[in-house]
Structure 1
Amino acid sequence: MRNMTAILVIAVCFVQALYAGLSIISFLALKQGMSHYTFVVYRMAIATALAIPLACEHASNPLFLILGSPVMDQNLYYVGMKNSNATFTSAMCNMLPVFAFFMAWVFRLENVDCRHPRGLTKVVGTLVTVVGAILLTMVKGPSLNLSWARDHDKNHSSAPKVKGALFLTLACFCWSCFIILQANVLKTYPCKLSLTALICFWGMVEGAVVAVVVERGNLEAWSIHLDLKLLAAVYGALVSGAAYYVMGLVVKKKGPVFYSAFNPLATLLVAILGSFFLHEQLYTGSLIGAVTIVGGLYLVLWGKARDQPPSDSKNANVEEPTGTPAIDDREV
């Protein structure tokens, strides 16, 4: 079981690395004039085409997923990105663990007992990861003077743009709702590959409706060539398929808080990648924030070490027929 936990941790870290790469690529594509409305459509369409052949399980269609596709949070996310930059966007998205933790607690998807050291550690660890992301992005300090990066503060205001922050906050709230919804769906819908295909399909349909309404009369928004825009769409599709499948796997085994707690890792990776590909200078505050993020993730993992999904709690102490002690799933 401990090996399964290690596999889940590696899978979530891999997804966060994919998201970090997507942040850089999509930011560059948006700067080239790509419409985020049509980008979401193409991304979901390609992801659907890739996921459907793998969705071999036969199951009923969970209708309420149609209302919970990731179209809204993705469009809000890219509007926020257009009004800020890749690193700030990724840092703002670290509100996701807070939203997810609170909503999981409200809907009883997360056991939080602050009287127990592990329960208190989960709360503290979640807050520490968010603080680390804030430090990484907002606290400057002396520059690291990386030779390949530039100090953008000389040309741009260091104050975050209010409009971008507002849209990113709404995006985090919508994304948290989607994670909580999926956690509930997985209680009665165990077919993760089919679920991934359905999410991508309905995301494509709803995204197309939104794009047609918003971009009506603008045929240029739908044009796509062998350029960075196409790369962003294909890469985004791969990220969507992998992320939704891993999300379903991790949320079912460990709960929504465990999955969302790794989100600050993407901020660290975006800051590193941004210094190379976007030539954004790093500061000592970045190093402090990075160490804080790692520390916060460790606290969350330690607090979650003996947790189990609430739906399995009834079977936690059932004895084996042979009379041997029951295996406690919380050791995962």
Structure 2
Amino acid sequence: MRGRYCYKDVLPFTALVTMECINVGLNTLFKAATLKGMSYHVFVVYAYAIAALVLLPAPFISQRSRVLPPLNFSIMSKIGLLGLIGSSSQIMGYTGINFSSPALASAISNLVPAFTFIFAIIFRMEKVVLRSTSSKAKILGTIISISGAFVVTLYKGTPIVIAHRSSVSLYPPLNSLKSNWVIGGLLLTAEYILVPLWYIVQAQIMKEYPNELTVIFFYNLSVSIIAAIVGLSTEKNSSAWRLRPDIALVSVVCSGLFGSCLNNTVHAWALRIKGPLFVSMFKPLSIAIAVAMGVMFLGDTLYLGSLVGATIISIGFYTVMWGKAKEEIGEDHGVSSPESPPTTQKVPLLQSYKAQEV
């Protein structure tokens, strides 16, 4: 029982928090690489190609398993769709940031749990019964978490801990927006509509083919191919494709190993274990993690808005987690599932047996 609890609850939580911490560091490396003039089209191609190369043995190993179903056309086509969604969201996101700012991107990313919740209900991956305590907790927690993330992003307040040295902020202020702010906002909104769809399609694939390494290998391969086609049409200068031994090479290798490979594999596993809503709830939490890491390691100033927003995010996050746990252990006895027919009144076993004899 304890081992199942660790595998189903403690391990996914710990793994996803760790991945969000890693993602903050990878975003910082990416920003440093692009400041050196690296194209984000080239970055996506190389990062996903490295991840695909690392996971190359996975399909050959999985084919030896008698438990897994064969990789048929249906599964491969869904993985191809997943690659198209992933590459489109990446390209739209980076283009949107170029038109607007990373601050606007982080603000709009707070809507991912809401979009995921809506899509999960539409595709019947989440059950919502308004009389159910767990459903109310999930809805309320999602709203609270999103509100807290907007507080962190848009409200600064008075400084609590003053920066002791100059540093590059992880989330620049909104006054750095360019004139094409509307176009950037639309592209970023499209990106964060595609991200929940990525979660939904990925969760469906994991139900049919529960092998994370093989699925992520083909996903990384498809994203690299699609991004290469787009990149070759946009980056016609051959010098843009050369990787020099500097921060750009470090960023590409780290993003390929820890982002496209490890991060996507962990997310695929967590989607299979816990579902799309659980995974998406770590998106607002990543902003609080970025603030904390910025204060501890980069010497950023801690503002009142960041502290208040992080507290609100934590309350909303744990409200959703409590609702999910309550739903999984089946404490809502008085509410029947929308997918199952209403149960009739329970009849004692002996009485039922006698009725069958008569």
Q: TM-score, normalised by structure 1?
A: 0.85
* Offset, 1:111: 1.1
* Offset, 1:115: 1.5
Q: Aligned partners of 1:122 and 1:183: how far apart in 2?
A: 19
Q: Aligned partners of 1:251 and 1:306: how far apart in 2?
A: 19
Pair 103,122 (structure 1): closer, same or farther in 2 beyond 3 Å:
same
Residue number in structure 2 paired with 1:57 = 62
Residues 1:24 and 2:28 are matched in the alignment: yes
* Offset, 1:245: 1.4
Q: Aligned partners of 2:150 and 2:176: how far apart in 1?
A: 13
Residues 1:44 and 2:48 are matched in the alignment: yes
Secondary structure, aligned partner of 1:15: helix
Residue number in structure 2 paired with 1:122 = 138
Q: Aligned partners of 1:307 and 1:232: how far apart in 2?
A: 41
* Offset, 1:246: 1.5
Residues 1:147 and 2:164 are matched in the alignment: yes
Residue number in structure 1 paired with 2:324 = 304
Residues 1:138 and 2:154 are matched in the alignment: yes
Note if contact 1:121-1:300 (Cα within 8 Å) is conserved in structure 2: yes
* Offset, 1:273: 3.9
Residue number in structure 1 paired with 2:241 = 222
Residue number in structure 2 paired with 1:242 = 262
Number of aligned residues: 310
Deviations 1:177-197 (A, max 9, x none): 111111111221112110011
Q: Aligned partners of 2:175 and 2:196: how far apart in 1?
A: 28
Q: Aligned partners of 2:206 and 2:12: how far apart in 1?
A: 17
The residue type equivalent to 2:254 in the other structure is Y
Q: Aligned partners of 1:96 and 1:83: how far apart in 2?
A: 20
Note if contact 1:183-1:248 (Cα within 8 Å) is conserved in structure 2: yes
Deviations 1:145-188 (A, max 9, x none): 22224798xx9763756244332222111111111111111221
Note if contact 2:113-2:281 (Cα within 8 Å) is conserved in structure 1: yes
Query: How is 1:92-241 mapped onto 2 (pairs within 5 angstroms)?
Result: 92-144=108-160, 145-149=162-166, 158=175, 162=181, 163-216=183-236, 218-238=237-257, 239-241=259-261
The residue type equivalent to 1:197 in the other structure is F
* Offset, 1:29: 1.5
Note if contact 1:149-1:275 (Cα within 8 Å) is conserved in structure 2: no
Pair 255,188 (structure 1): closer, same or farther in 2 beyond 3 Å:
same
* Offset, 1:79: 2.2
Pair 32,278 (structure 1): closer, same or farther in 2 beyond 3 Å:
farther
* Offset, 1:263: 1.1
Deviations 1:76-121 (A, max 9, x none): 2222333455555334322211111111111111112221111111
Note if contact 2:52-2:221 (Cα within 8 Å) is conserved in structure 1: yes
Q: Which has the larger radius of gyration?
A: 2
Secondary structure, aligned partner of 2:55: helix
* Offset, 1:280: 5.2
Match of residue 3, structure 1, among 2, 6, 9: 6
* Offset, 1:274: 4.3
Q: Larger deviation: 277-286 or 14-23?
A: 277-286
Q: Aligned partners of 2:263 and 2:304: how far apart in 1?
A: 31
* Offset, 1:282: 3.5
* Offset, 1:203: 0.8
Residue number in structure 2 paired with 1:317 = none
Note if contact 2:101-2:174 (Cα within 8 Å) is conserved in structure 1: no
Note if contact 2:101-2:177 (Cα within 8 Å) is conserved in structure 1: no
Secondary structure, aligned partner of 2:57: helix
The residue type equivalent to 1:237 in the other structure is G
| Aligned-pair identity (%) | 29
Match of residue 294, structure 1, among 302, 314, 321: 314
Q: Aligned partners of 2:140 and 2:283: how far apart in 1?
A: 16
Q: Aligned partners of 1:251 and 1:95: how far apart in 2?
A: 18
Q: TM-score, normalised by structure 2?
A: 0.79
* Aligned residues: CA RMSD: 2.7
Name structure 2 gaps, 5 residues minimum: 64-69, 329-338, 341-358
